[in-house]
Amino acid sequence: MADDKQRAELLPADALKGKRLGISVSNSPDLDRLGLTETHFRMTLGELVRSVVIAGGDLYYGGHLQPEGITTFLIEELHRYGRRDRPLKVCLAWSIHRSMSKEQIAEQKDFLGLFGEIHFLDNDGARLEGPLNEQPVSEFPAEERAKALSGLRNYMAKNTDARIVIGGKRDGFEGAMPGIVEEVLLSLESKQPVFLAGGFGGATVDIIRVLRPGSAEWFPLSPEPKNDSRLLDSLERVAEAATRMEWDVLENGLSEEENNLLAASYRPSEIAALVGRGLGKVL
């Protein structure tokens, strides 16, 4: 019954027409600890896609085009809802698309079809007219990969109106800092509304703990955290940016109570309803 009520509160058609939502999402290291699975995670993404796409909004996602990845999942979800005006914008960092062959890129364009388009970026995050007609590069120096990923995240921050954040790695990332933390930092500096869905843990709940400590009290801390020092440094930068910009990313159309619920919920329909409600108000 509650699920039906929340579904009914999703945005009406065309409420987000012309608006662009950035998706910051990656697998969380905390799923097992929280008794959740990859299926829960992807169900939530599916509900968010449905909510935004049916309301006429566009989705911006920076990732890769591997068959088992989130990009493929997003495209498959779009096939279910039938919008054929390319609502999904897949933004590819320089180091990602330069490692792909012409055939691989052509195959992915065909797969996207009328449901999405690819934005190819240079190493500074500027959009290119298309992929370079050159042989793919198999290896990039770590510094170049990090620069390309920062360029991608800058591009997305400049070309979106709001951001939804879920999960996120704490280590094993290729950029200068965890991708989700960098994206929230850029949103802060752009004074962009952010929706922090912390129920799946990961770097998202770490960001919540920095910005709104009381909203993360539910999360069970690991007795022996093994966090990359770059994560801790980047979280400090988020806190400093929030103070410097005098801007709370959680000025997102939701009340304090609703943001607290979003910070802990793992229920797909509830998360989508909350994000939809906030988007409808703030945009």
Residue 9: its pLDDT value, please? 54
130-166 confidence digits (pLDDT tens): 998 889 998 999 999 999 999 999 999 999 999 999 9
DSSP β-bridge partners for residue 116: 88
Q: Which of 59, 6, 51, 85 is nearest to 270 (CA)?
A: 6
**CA 85 – CA 71 distance, rounded (Å):** 17
pLDDT at 226: 63
- Amino acid in position 263: A
Residue 110 has pLDDT above 60, yes or no: yes
pLDDT, position 204? 96
Alpha-carbon distance values, 157 to 121, 170, 183, 227, 258 (Å): 14, 21, 7, 26, 24
What CA–CA distance (Å, rounded) separates 176 from 191? 22
* 38 or 9: which leads in pLDDT: 38
Stretch among 74-83, 102-111, 207-216 having the lowest mean pLDDT = 74-83
Q: Could you tell me which of 221, 222, 220, 214 has the C-alpha nearest to residue 261?
A: 214
Q: How far apart are CA 187 and CA 218, in angstroms?
A: 25
Instruction: Give all domains of the chain, ordered by start, each with its CATH number.
Output: 14-282 (3.40.50.450)
For every residue of 220-264, which 3-state class applies, written as one string? CCCCCCCCCHHHHHHHHHHHHHHHHHCCCCCCCCCCHHHHHHHHH
**pLDDT on residue 249:** 78
Taking alpha carbons only, the member of 100, 77, 92 closest to residue 272 is 77
**Contact criterion met (CB below 8 Å) for 163 and 184:** yes
163-220 pLDDT, tens per residue? 999 999 998 888 889 999 999 999 999 999 999 999 999 999 999 999 999 999 999 8
Which of 252, 273, 279, 262 minimizes the C-alpha distance to 200? 262
Tell me the DSSP string of 151-203.
HHHHHHHHT-SEEEEEE--SSS-SSSS-HHHHHHHHHHHTT--EEEEGGG-HH
pLDDT of 171 reads 86
Q: What is the mean pLDDT of residues 88-106?
A: 94
Q: Contact at 8 Å (CB) between 214 and 261?
A: no
Please give the model's pTM, rounded to 2 decimal places.
0.92
Using an 8 Å Cβ cutoff, are 106 and 100 in contact?
Answer: no
